[in-house]
Amino acid sequence: MYNIKADLHTHTVNSGHGYSTVDELARTASKKDIELIAVTEHGPSLPGGPHRYFFSNMSILPEEMYGVKILKGIEANIGNKGKLDLNESDLKSLDFVAAGLHYNTGHTLSNKKEYTKATVEAIKNPLVNMITHPASIYYPLDLEKVVKAASMHDVILEVNAGSFHPKKKGARGNKNLTIKLCKLARKHGVLLSLNSDAHFHTQVGQVHHLFDIIKEAGITDENLINTSIDKIETFLEDNRLRKISV
């Protein structure tokens, strides 16, 4: 139904609670006709997350494995006042910067207003390309404010398919919030990315169980950035130019 060509949110063993390697992710992506993956390990403040040197060294990875383009990335943790848990020069060395709110990462944010404010601050950071799981029930956000900020600052918002994983304990996915996010993104012209958030290689590109939900919200391939590698590359080039100016 949707022509998914890329997965912009994946984890490996290096995140501390992932169970596959970059090689396995790439190989599985290739078998599933996924043409590009972003390897987005959790930022250093998540227990078990890699040290900052891990991120500055990611450039040693090949550009492409098994015919799959590899973006070297991070899922940085959003802290108080929207601060990320990796310094600017290390963030700049990466191809793709995602950011999201997570437990046990040192922030003291405690309600919707604070989660929203921190997320909007992260969106304003020119080094941030995508916000992960904005429709999470764990960190409820004022979605209208977040979508408007994403529109203004040209940031991708994620539809996180992993949140609906049936085997995941305490799944954070919520159909109504996801539909609301999709409708607002359409209204304000914000690009969405339908990602797996894979923590095991078989989950790469596993997003099909969300098709009915996003269809109900009127989403088409046009609204999704990960239906075209060209769209992703153009977006990243525009964002790279923004980074230079930081």
Q: Which residues bind Zn ion (CB under 5 A)?
A: 75, 100, 132, 197
The partner residues of 130 in beta bridges, in order of sequence, read 98, 156
Q: Which of 114, 127, 115 has the alpha carbon at shortest distance from 76?
A: 127
Nearer to Zn ion, 52 or 186 (CB): 52
Nearer to Zn ion, 76 or 217 (CB): 76
The HSE-up count of residue 139 (CA atoms within 13 Å, CB side) is 23
> C-beta of 197: minimal distance to Zn ion in Å?
4
> C-beta of 8: minimal distance to Zn ion in Å?
11
Q: Which of 122, 44, 39, 46 has the alpha carbon at shortest distance from 80?
A: 122
Nearer to Zn ion, 147 or 198 (CB): 198
> C-beta of 133: minimal distance to Zn ion in Å?
6
Nearer to Zn ion, 49 or 126 (CB): 49
- CA 245 to mean position of chain CA atoms: 23
* Helix, strand, coil fractions of the chain, as percent rounded to 5: 45, 20, 40
The partner residues of 75 in beta bridges, in order of sequence, read 42, 98
> C-beta of 11: minimal distance to Zn ion in Å?
6
